[in-house]
Structure 1
Amino acid sequence: GMFLVAGWGLLLTLFVVLELVRGLSCGAIRAV
């Protein structure tokens, strides 16, 4: 159970970070 929760948390964190990086990149390109 704990391993599953940790796995989901890691996956969610990775997804959020990827979205943030992509959003910042797109925002920077759009701002130029």
Structure 2
Amino acid sequence: MAHKFPRISFFQRWSILFKCIFHYGMIFWYG
């Protein structure tokens, strides 16, 4: 199943990565 939708998995992986970067970016900016 993991290899059935490589684009979805790739998008989700980058989405999580972007959220983490954005989260720590906000902490760095306002903190």
- Per the TM superposition, whether the score is higher than 0.5 is yes
Higher helix share: 1
Where has structure 1 moved over 4 Å in runs of 4 or more?
Answer: none
TM-score (norm 2): 0.69
- Greater relative contact order structure (CA < 8 Å, 6+ sep): 2
- Gaps in structure 2 of 5+ consecutive residues: none
Equivalent pairs: percent with the same residue?
A: 0
TM-score (norm 1): 0.68
Residues 1-32 of structure 1, C-alpha deviation per residue, up to 9 Å, x if partnerless? x765111000000100000000001112232x
Q: What's the Cα RMSD here?
A: 2.0
Aligned length: 31
